[in-house]
Structure 1
Amino acid sequence: MNTWTNQAREALLQRRSSLRGLLRDNREEAEELREGRASEQADEAAEESVAEVLERLSERERRELRDIDDALVRIEQGGFGHCARCGGAIGRHRLLAIPEARHCMACSAQVER
C-alpha cells in the first residue's frame, strides 16, 4: 500500500469511528428514553421522541458509513482508486479529499445527472 492510500485509509477509519460513535450515542439516548417511558407511563409524544433519537443519524450519514466500509474493502482488495463505472483512475487529489469516492470526476458528474 502506498503512502496516500494509507492516508486515505486512516481518514476513512477516523470518519467511520466518528459516525459509529454518533450511532452508539443515539442508541444509548433512545434506551434511556425507553427506560424513562416505562417508569412514567409516557404518552404518544414520548414514543415519537424515541423515534427521533434513532433517526438522528441521517440518511446521508448512513450512506456515508456504507460508502466508507465499501472503500475500506476496496483498499483491502486492491481496487481502491479505480472508478466503479469506467475503471479509470479516480485521482489522488480526489481520493485525499473524498476517500470514499467510487467514481472519477467525469463519471461522478454523469452519475449525479
Structure 2
Amino acid sequence: MHENSNNAAAYRADDPLLVNSNIFLFDDPDAPELDPYTVLPNGGFRNTTNNTLVNYFMRNTLNYSTRFGDNHQVDVLVGQEVRSSDRTKEYAEGWGGIYLIKEVLC
C-alpha cells in the first residue's frame, strides 16, 4: 500500500482529538502515562506472496496375454509410473516502504 493510502495514514493519525481512540497507534505498556504514538512515521506497507506448483504425472501399462496349446498361457504386464512435484511459496511483509516511480525503497 502506498505511503499516502488511507490504511497507512491510519497508523499516523495521532491528532490529539483522536489519539486515544485510534487502535493503530502503539500504546506502550511500560509507560501507560504516555499517549499512544505512531510506529509508522513514514512509508506504507508491502505484502508479497508468490506461489508456484509444478506437477508431472505419467502412467503407462502394457498387458499382453497369449495361450498356446491346451496347457500353456503367458501373461505379461509391464508398467511405468513417474511422479514429480515442485512447490514453492514465498511470503514477504514490509513496513515503512517508500514508493517512488514503480520502485520501493525500504
Return the TM-score normalized by structure 2: 0.26
Instruction: Flag the structure with higher helix content.
Output: 1
Instruction: Flag the structure with higher strand content.
Output: 2
Return the TM-score normalized by structure 1: 0.24
Larger radius of gyration: 2
